Structure 1
């Protein structure tokens, strides 16, 4: 598993944030910008409102979004890291397409758990023109994602949002009989209990120099509702169920994928995917500074079928 120390070359967010330029794009960010002890402009990353304002400014400056906001307490994703996931997936689907990244609305992506932010459709459409179907089990998140899509003309015809009515299922109830997806992606719930989340939050707060009684602080500076962060059995069990359900749709998806937050969960994830009967499994490491992550992707199609998948992709809509 190769681990990168820098952002993907196509990631728009190389280097440090240019707060002067970001404030020009969105003046509201100025209220949160301060000079840190090193003499650089920054924000208090322990302040969820500041993190939300930074995201809105980044999306406006770099992706041209006229509107982006999420309800208080919902997960506010780190945009550069989410971008890396999308760009590495683009490399993956290019492998059996003569090394060319397929672009445009004929590339159909299923976003499992899109959340209130709809961040993957924003990046995937703006950088590659892909079309997205987004799902979530939370009606409030669905409403927020729909508001973002409708408020930005470039996204209106490139993304739709569907409510997953059964929290026990991942792909069932979402993927239609005649629907085909080049990719699925997911940022699964990564804590098995509120206690585990609180312990991890405590470590992060101490790393931000905010030590103190945990009950006086929000759980995490980037927010997150229980359904976004917690899953009984943790991310390993969630991904296991994802792998199990993927067998049902193995002919309708080119590559299934998911982020894996904990490296220690990889052996369990590999066993689940192997038991599902996948023909090929990939693990791609990602790292930005001290933070390391990775995603795992699997397919039930052999190389010849992957090439055929690309060759029969039409100019739009369903295939093969």
Structure 2
């Protein structure tokens, strides 16, 4: 059910620094992106909204949010690419900043640029956009998909605010995550990832159809076999063999090879039931610290898992060398 058929859901559970805690100001958004205006209407509860099952409307909403709030002058993605909900993506970034704050004696480090590795940055380049704008972090975004790489590079090249903050690298091996993208002697304060969480294309299609049906359940005469989802998504963005547990297991195994080059590895986990096997895998990998960070967006609860191989002494040395010069 979308905002056109129910009262506006409160966003007050979003992170306190999230720009999207309040309802969307459509007048402001349309002033930045006039082409959004034809898709905005007032629903029966007297709230301005859009049809969230309309992929073009959602794309233009995202474009307007990024231009209005994150200093962009250009943003676009190829048709069919993942068009993510901005508030939830922003929450991940803000909670990552809190993780660094907790690590750094309750201070968000500002004295030196934080370097972040975004695994699977996608055609949308969302995390680098938000992190560079909100915290001036430097990003390396990686992807295996050539079209996604081209699109992300295009976004960076058309926005001066990103030019010196974001680098896009192609992951040449579909069987690798960190191998081939982390260079020798590079150090990253954070890695982040929104993994493909379906285990097969059929499962991804079924999930997409279910959400599309939910968005349209009160609409008459809608086609029952329309699987075009409002947020889109290519195969590598939505599914992989074994689903997210298999993907994150691979990430954990490979992260051991770069244990001294990364302060915190992190990854979103879509299902709470997946946490226990992942925590056991991290214990077997001899991680020194493991944290599960819960996030809430309206009625939805999400989470990410974070791990570090550094000892307390090594972490203090990292903070001294990189954060507190």
Question: What's the TM-score once normalised by structure 2's chain length?
Answer: 0.92
Give the secondary-structure state (helix, strand or coil) at the position aligned to 1:95: helix
Moved more, 304-313 or 37-46: 304-313
- The residue aligned with 2:273 is 264
Deviations 1:199-251 (A, max 9, x none): 32233223213486553331x21000001001000000000000000000000
Q: Would you say the 8 A contact 1:109–1:130 is kept in 2?
A: yes
C-alpha deviation, 1:314, in angstroms = 7.0
C-alpha deviation, 1:287, in angstroms = 1.4
Q: Would you say the 8 A contact 2:116–2:139 is kept in 1?
A: yes
- The residue aligned with 1:72 is 79
C-alpha deviation, 1:313, in angstroms = 1.2
C-alpha deviation, 1:192, in angstroms = 0.4
- The residue aligned with 2:173 is 166
C-alpha deviation, 1:195, in angstroms = 2.2
Number of equivalenced pairs: 312
CA spacing shift, 1:315–1:266, aligned 2, 3 Å: closer
Residue 251 in structure 1 maps to residue 283 in structure 2: no
Q: Would you say the 8 A contact 2:209–2:227 is kept in 1?
A: no
- The residue aligned with 1:238 is 247
Select the residue among 14, 17, 22 that pairs with 2:21.
Answer: 14
CA RMSD of aligned residues (A): 1.8
Select the residue among 86, 108, 125 that pairs with 2:115.
Answer: 108
Moved over 4 A (4+): 211-214
Q: Would you say the 8 A contact 1:104–1:129 is kept in 2?
A: no
Deviations 1:5-42 (A, max 9, x none): 71111111111111111111211110211112212110
Give the gaps of 5 or more residues in structure 1: none
- The residue aligned with 2:57 is 50
CA spacing shift, 1:104–1:12, aligned 2, 3 Å: farther
- The residue aligned with 1:216 is 226
Q: Would you say the 8 A contact 1:104–1:131 is kept in 2?
A: no
- The residue aligned with 2:190 is 183
For residues 257 and 223 of structure 2, the distance between their equivalents in structure 1, rounded to whole angstroms, comes to: 47
Moved more, 16-25 or 92-101: 92-101
Q: Would you say the 8 A contact 1:181–1:253 is kept in 2?
A: yes
Give the secondary-structure state (helix, strand or coil) at the position aligned to 1:257: strand
Deviations 1:149-173 (A, max 9, x none): 1111011000100000001000001
- The residue aligned with 1:285 is 294
For residues 167 and 118 of structure 2, the distance between their equivalents in structure 1, rounded to whole angstroms, comes to: 10
Question: What's the TM-score once normalised by structure 1's chain length?
Answer: 0.93
For residues 223 and 276 of structure 2, the distance between their equivalents in structure 1, rounded to whole angstroms, comes to: 35
Residue 26 in structure 1 maps to residue 33 in structure 2: yes
- The residue aligned with 2:161 is 154
For residues 176 and 254 of structure 1, the distance between their equivalents in structure 2, rounded to whole angstroms, comes to: 15
For residues 165 and 265 of structure 2, the distance between their equivalents in structure 1, rounded to whole angstroms, comes to: 20
For residues 161 and 97 of structure 1, the distance between their equivalents in structure 2, rounded to whole angstroms, comes to: 28
For residues 49 and 315 of structure 1, the distance between their equivalents in structure 2, rounded to whole angstroms, comes to: 45
For residues 125 and 194 of structure 1, the distance between their equivalents in structure 2, rounded to whole angstroms, comes to: 33
C-alpha deviation, 1:258, in angstroms = 0.3
For residues 193 and 5 of structure 1, the distance between their equivalents in structure 2, rounded to whole angstroms, comes to: 35
Q: Would you say the 8 A contact 2:205–2:227 is kept in 1?
A: no
